[in-house]
Structure 1
Amino acid sequence: MTSSTPSARPYRGMSAEQRRAQRRAALLEAGLEVLGRHGWAAATVRGVCRQAGLNDRYFYENFADLDALLLAVVDGQAAQGTAVILAAAAAAPHRLRARARAVVEAIVDFLSADPRRGRILAHEFSAHPLLQQRRRRIIRTLAGVFTAQARELLDEVPLSATDLHLTALTVTAGLWDLLTDWFRGDLDTGRDHLVDYIVAFLLTTTELAPALQHRLR
């Protein structure tokens, strides 16, 4: 007959695995708070653990170092944002303008709903080399969403696969920088006008695509 170790026994109705998942979630939330309120330059393992209400030893149970936590926080927020975009697209009518507006409103409101997200976008991505690299990966993911939506909504995609990919990267990177400037406070325009502009830009990009393809031949 075997007996479980003390750490593996249920505690307050939670298994060891559930407690570890709870601690990891607390550390991720603490990392988001530090990154989104104070900036990663001010982060320390002890400070993150204090914010999470955990002993320092639990940090290394989940993360190799602060950079690992930083990337996990950003990846988690990026995954949430991508899920918001996909959900908005799925719920919107099968029409280009309606789909574009639903997606743009969803992502702007997602970033605005938690001030920490806007601050991370506006200040932290440009301040940390690891986040600069992550920005490229996230943009590629979002460009893939753009490409899939274009193929779904357009009866005939007027660009070759290569040019559609280039267009998706250009549009996604450009809108990332536009939103970065807006959240930084560098653009004197309100939320509704920003949404209207981005929707019009996306529709114009789609309309100009055939002319672009013709000039490239």
Structure 2
Amino acid sequence: MPTSPAHSSEPATSTPRKVTKRRGQTRRRLLDAAVEVFAENGFGRSTVEQICERGGYTRGAFYSNFASLDEMFFAMWEQRSSAMLAQIRLAADSSSIDLSGLTPAEKLRAGTELVLGVVPVDDQWYRINAEFTAHALRNPSLKKALAAREDTILDTIVPILEKALHRLGRRIAGDPRVLGRALVALHDGTSVQCLIEDENAAARELRLELFTRVVTAYTEPDTTHTHTHRKEGSS
């Protein structure tokens, strides 16, 4: 007899469990299995049993790590967000591109391209995230939990953006979170376009163009940056 999905009407608020090395490995394998199952079957049609079977674990192993599939999704989301933010931070701090001799506009485009290179357009994750978002929109507590996590992403990414822009001779004009929200929305919108037109190189080129234009629109020349470099050059 098929088992119904173990969804919870509440976001993950369970008491944190002690994570041993073995438990951590089990948790990672279950999350990897869940990515495959959610992407193949759809979040709403996936069950704990399917994930356990794919990962080679029992229901007991699942419930010793996650209270529900909703909690598992948030763990998956946080794992993926942390990895992506780490890659963005590395790219923003990178000195791998030579900006000498470039115009301000060319510098901004080169920096944008470098950061976009580590922001994945992932078919599997897009399907999972889109389906869970639709699920959360039907549940007020999940919707609040999802919004809170989006705010956490903004709080983390804004300082990275500010630092990267300073290196490019720009600064954010106005509220930094407005630019952050604009970039998140642009990522979501252009991701689906790139996935639908996966054989069209122009779609990814347009993605870069749109990101560059949005960053340009929400930033201005950083006169402090210019003044600092002049002082260094005259010393």
Matches within 5 A, 1:48-197: 48-92=51-95, 93=97, 96-107=108-119, 110-112=120-122, 115-129=123-137, 130=142, 133-134=145-146, 137-138=149-150, 140-142=152-154, 144-151=156-163, 153-154=165-166, 157=171, 159=173, 163-182=174-193, 185=196, 190-197=203-210
Deviation at 1:123, TM superposition (A): 4.0
* Range moving further from structure 2, 39-48 or 146-155: 146-155
Q: Distance in 1 between matches of 2:36 and 2:94?
A: 31
Task: List per-residue Cα deviations over 1:146-185 (Å, max 9, x = no partner).
Answer: 34422553367464xxx32342344234324423542563
Structure with the higher helix share, 1 or 2 = 1
Deviation at 1:194, TM superposition (A): 1.6
Identity of aligned residues (%): 22
Work out whether residues 171 and 221 of structure 2, in 8 Å CA contact, stay in contact via their aligned partners in 1.
Answer: no
Task: List per-residue Cα deviations over 1:118-166 (Å, max 9, x = no partner).
Answer: 323444423334367425523542464234422553367464xxx3234
Consecutive unaligned residues of structure 1, counting only runs of 5 or more, are 1-15, 210-217
TM-score by length of 2: 0.65
RMSD, aligned α-carbons:
3.3
Equivalent pairs counted in the alignment come to 187
Work out whether residues 179 and 218 of structure 2, in 8 Å CA contact, stay in contact via their aligned partners in 1.
Answer: no
Aligned partner letter, 2:85? T
Work out whether residues 88 and 103 of structure 1, in 8 Å CA contact, stay in contact via their aligned partners in 2.
Answer: yes
Consecutive unaligned residues of structure 2, counting only runs of 5 or more, are 1-18, 100-106, 223-235
Aligned partner letter, 1:101? E
Work out whether residues 122 and 184 of structure 1, in 8 Å CA contact, stay in contact via their aligned partners in 2.
Answer: no
SS of 2:211's equivalent in the other structure is helix
Q: Distance in 2 between matches of 1:37 and 1:173?
A: 25
Aligned to 1:215: none
Q: Distance in 1 between matches of 2:81 and 2:42?
A: 18
